[in-house]
Structure 1
């Protein structure tokens, strides 16, 4: 199992904070550094010093790291035009030397759209836009020559389909694409058509297993092998070498230890190993550990020394 670090900088993080976590995760051997794509803090967090743009910060981090993979869980289709997004991601892929992955979703947090003047269509339209964006972004990357698209929401005419990403690893060529979610029909269908990886975020082992099964069935129905897609999960991380340290880390992120033990990769390191083992049995090959306190780099040290050796490939 590969372990990746997933951050939520809209809750309060500077660019320097993100660089520090990414560089430390790289030194410790984590597979990737990912960040959310949000513009507004959630819950009681102040959000200070203010939101940062996912692809702008990843561009900077691409030049501040050398081996760790980088990406989003997930970029919102409401935030960017698909042609612009294809250019941005290809640019960051070049800046990283081919280490970028694109998580793309329909968007869901209506308050951040209202706060920054971003249109927020109804759910059905957002998924329609997401499907067109997936077709356009992957189409631009894989096109041999000019590219045109005539959709309901987006139209492209004789695009030069440039720049191309450094990577040609996606199922359609270009950057690997990650799709996630809990929908029972449309989400698996989109994953079967466009995804190199499918992610189930913050779910129980039982629900994760069920959703992976739906996606595997959709992938096979689309004529792909079930194992042609990577299956991953995201879990909040909170571990401590003893109960006192665990309690301090839970308090720092405003959560209860018991609730974290039930719903995340939490507890002692061996409890975290056990949870990851359960996810592996459910079909998960890669786990994104959600690190909410970005100032606690020793948290990563503990995972690298006491968890990673028991689950690494």
Structure 2
């Protein structure tokens, strides 16, 4: 199992001047701890569940580009881009640019979008859910065409491109991996089976994750896709400490042993990667513990703990 880190909270003491140095240190600490990937939300207002919309929020791809300059190995992506936020051709160009400048470390994380408040606030059209999914599928087709040798036109119901030119091309081959976020059984998981290299699920517990994987397996069978070729990732909360005290966010912390047990259970449920939301991302003392967790879970495989 590989571990990633999602940073979703930027309201740190001394902001805004402190945000750049603090986030840069988080990126470097995550990489030094052996984490495989670094993710930020693609939002413009802070989201419910984390804080009020007035809290600090950074634009995702600018943030990832900054992280690319602070690191050399860790992979970089949004968890996840709302399909409504950027024209598909511009999105493909943006992710390609991140991939080129980072030396082949970019992901495209994408979903159907949901936060109507920030759409209305910033004047971004927010079509009905059915149309958002139609746009998501067309966007997936467009980015895959732009990451191929075909620079011809694209004509869909919602998007029309005269020339899908993308120069320079991405470094990653065959293209930056595509991760689709969401757990909708009829639409989202069907798109994962048809287009994605990875899925991202919320941590709804091992039984729920196993059931979701079985639905995805069925969609893969329907389209003739190898289920095992899709990386299953899960976003979960996990803050580490060796004292057992609360994280700065107020949430409880756990020991390395407890973290390994939790991640092992997620692997048994079919998860290949776990992306951690940590309540103590700014604490340098947390990252040696993260490194030990990375070491212990590196041999755990999805649906089996043979490496333990």
Decide: shared fold, TM above 0.5. Answer: yes
Decide whether the 8 Å contact of 1:17 with 1:294 is kept in 2: no
Aligned match of 2:105: 99
Aligned match of 1:253: 249
Moved more, 80-89 or 113-122: 113-122
Q: Find the residue that maps to 1:178 and give its secondary structure.
A: strand
Q: Which runs of 5 or more residues in structure 1 are unaligned?
A: 258-265
Decide whether the 8 Å contact of 1:75 with 1:105 is kept in 2: yes
Aligned match of 1:214: 215
Deviation by residue 1:45-93 (Cα, 9 ceiling, x = unmatched): 3677732111112112212211111111111111100000011110110
Aligned partners of 1:136 and 1:292: how far apart in 2? 37
For the pair 1:296 / 2:280, whether they are aligned, the reply is no
For the pair 1:82 / 2:88, whether they are aligned, the reply is yes
Deviation by residue 1:174-216 (Cα, 9 ceiling, x = unmatched): 1100012111121111001111111112321111111111112
Deviation of the 1:163 alpha carbon: 3.3
Aligned partners of 1:282 and 1:89: how far apart in 2? 31
For the pair 1:199 / 2:200, whether they are aligned, the reply is yes
For the pair 1:120 / 2:121, whether they are aligned, the reply is no
Aligned partners of 1:223 and 1:166: how far apart in 2? 28
Deviation by residue 1:137-160 (Cα, 9 ceiling, x = unmatched): 111111x24221111111111332
For the pair 1:268 / 2:255, whether they are aligned, the reply is yes
Decide whether the 8 Å contact of 1:9 with 1:35 is kept in 2: no
Aligned partners of 1:65 and 1:205: how far apart in 2? 33
Query: Over aligned residue pairs, what C-alpha RMSD do you find?
Result: 2.0
The structure carrying a bigger helix percent of its residues is: 1
For the pair 1:224 / 2:220, whether they are aligned, the reply is no
Aligned match of 1:237: 238
Aligned match of 2:294: 308
TM-score computed with the length of structure 2 as normaliser: 0.89
Q: Find the residue that maps to 2:107 and give its secondary structure.
A: strand
Aligned partners of 1:160 and 1:42: how far apart in 2? 35
Q: Which runs of 5 or more residues in structure 2 are unaligned?
A: 300-308
Moved more, 5-14 or 213-222: 5-14
With over 3 angstroms needed to count, the CA separation of the structure-2 counterparts of 1:48 and 1:295, relative to structure 1, is: farther
The structure carrying a bigger strand percent of its residues is: 1
For the pair 1:39 / 2:44, whether they are aligned, the reply is yes
What is the aligned length? 293
Decide whether the 8 Å contact of 2:104 with 2:172 is kept in 1: yes
With over 3 angstroms needed to count, the CA separation of the structure-2 counterparts of 1:9 and 1:95, relative to structure 1, is: farther
Aligned partners of 2:126 and 2:279: how far apart in 1? 27
With over 3 angstroms needed to count, the CA separation of the structure-2 counterparts of 1:11 and 1:78, relative to structure 1, is: farther
Deviation of the 1:303 alpha carbon: 2.1
Aligned match of 2:264: 277
Q: Find the residue that maps to 1:289 and give its secondary structure.
A: strand
With over 3 angstroms needed to count, the CA separation of the structure-2 counterparts of 1:152 and 1:11, relative to structure 1, is: farther
